Chains A and B, each alone.
Chain A
Amino acid sequence: MGVVGEQFRTHQIFLPEVLLAARAMYAGLDLLKPLLLRDNIPMLGKVVIGTIRGDLHDIGKNLVGIMLQGAGFEVIDLGKDVPPARFVEAAIEQEAPVIGMSALLTTTMVGMKEVVDNLRARPCQSKIKTIVGGAPVSADFAREIGADDYAFDAASAVTHIKALLGVA
């Protein structure tokens, strides 16, 4: 999937082709997961993702989840219409170092700030990074609300999350 992701980033293939490759990935993971668990081989990291409260758009979030799994991350997908507090709770419960949030409405993206503020109020806040994305979201918005990063699309989300975690 790393190869597929790179081909997508360099416009050699387009998104439906990446998603067809994802089907093969799912089949492979079904076989590999028990072996990885048995041999205690860790994933690259855990990422909590979800679409923020009040928003039901999830295509982008789903694509991010697929790309992250393909890159070797364990994805905890909270779904859509997720209350801000739930992102933080899930990240703490699952010991996930990254929270990824998606919004497609200007009226819902404001909930992302609640997640960041919620984290700031906790002692664990420095250990959990936040990354945001979605059509109305921008790098400027991410900075304004204090999020750690912003990703334009699913492919770049993987790159940014790897950078946040300092992994190759």
Chain B
Amino acid sequence: MRDIVRFKGEQVRLPEKEVLGAQGVRSRASLPTRVRAAFDSACELFDELAAPVGVVEELTREEFPAVYEGEGNNPPVTPLPEIVTRSEGLALYAATLGEGVSRRIGELFDEQDPAVAYLLDAVASAAADLLSGCLAERFGTRLAERGVAPDHAKVLSYSPGYCGWHVSGQRRLFARLRPEEIGIHLNSSFLMTPLKSVSGVLVGGTGDTHHFRPDFPFCEACATHECRPRMASGVAEEGEESLGPNGATGGGARARRRRDRSRAYPSRDPSGSGACLDPE
């Protein structure tokens, strides 16, 4: 199955509270008037310029290793291969907000309007993450329609550059998925353009599917540890066994929400508003 899915900008724009929260702002009311105006301008620009589109292509558990091994730069032990063996549905994906938003951000800096530029970037970055979540939610619906654990299916996305999947893995992913068809390109540094693009694998299964102990050697360098709230979001319970880096079992992960401005590991909420279940 290979699908190209288009959305409207407002379908992937996170609620204002979430975007502002990520900037350390508790409420719109606490913002100075001019900042509120700049934020509103950023949201208007986003709705006008964003052209969200994604491509999703299913693959089997047997096909995944050839993509995942990439250029051979992954650490020896990582969580994703075990997660995939427990999965009940897999799909590669890539999605973008399109070139318009990124271009306008650059123009705003050139026009010496850095506040709107920065806020548009914040809105767009949050939307790119939500776009992953929209595709995950849609894939979950597909799995449920096929009877894959319909009551408990949980689809999470995993991306090159995180959790031991080396960013150079983008090359094999691109070779298999061909997201150039929707205007996403990869440069020699494994950077996707347009910049507000995301890619990875959607993994569907029951809650246990996604559970692992986040104590791999590379976890120490992780800036966000977003795997923990992801695993805990209606998935594992305290004390549940999970796989550690040496195959040893241990206690369940404790839920902890952290917001990271750099968004090194995007927070995804496949069971969010549901607005993105109705793409264009």
- Please report A residues at the B interface, Cβ cutoff 8 Å: 14-17, 19-20, 22-23, 26, 53-59, 62-63, 66, 105-108, 135
Contact = CB atoms under 8 A, between A and B. Distances in A.
Contacts of B190: 105, 107
A62 B109 contact: yes
B114 A63 contact: yes
B115 A135 contact: no
5 contacts: A15-B118, A16-B119, A19-B117, A62-B109, A105-B167
Given A16-B118, A63-B118, A135-B223, A54 B112 contact: no
Given A20-B34, A54-B188, A108-B191, A14 B114 contact: no
Given A135-B223, A135-B264, A15 B23 contact: yes
B38 A20 contact: yes
A108 to B, nearest CB: 5
B109 A22 contact: no
A15 B118 CA distance: 9
Most buried by B among A17, A20, A57, A66: A20
Interface residues of B, number: 32
B25 interface: yes
A107 B118 contact: no
Interface of B: 23-25, 32, 34-35, 38-39, 105-106, 109, 112-115, 117-119, 121, 161, 167-168, 187-191, 193, 195, 223, 262, 264
Contacts of A26: 112
A153 B116 CA distance: 19
A142 to B, nearest CB: 15
A141 to B, nearest CB: 11
Most buried by B among A15, A26, A54, A135: A15
B115 A16 contact: yes
B189 A105 contact: yes
A155 B98 CA distance: 31
A55 B114 contact: no
B23 A16 contact: yes
B25 to A, nearest CB: 7
Nearest to B190: A107
Given A54-B189, A55-B191, A105-B190, A23 B115 contact: yes
Contact of A22 (B114, B223, B264): B114
Contacts of B187: 54
A123 B189 CA distance: 31
Contacts of B168: 107
Given A62-B109, A106-B161, 12 more contacts: A16-B39, A16-B115, A16-B119, A19-B114, A19-B118, A20-B35, A22-B112, A54-B188, A55-B189, A56-B195, A105-B191, A106-B167
Most buried by A among B24, B189, B262: B189
A63 B167 CA distance: 26
B35 A107 contact: no
A14 B195 contact: no
A107 B117 CA distance: 26
Contacts of B25: 14
Contacts of A63: 114, 118
Nearest to A135: B262
A23 B116 CA distance: 11
B167 A23 contact: no
B20 to A, nearest CB: 10
A105 B187 CA distance: 12
A20 B115 contact: yes
B217 to A, nearest CB: 15
Contact of B32 (A17, A56, A107): A17
Contacts of B191: 54-56, 105, 107-108
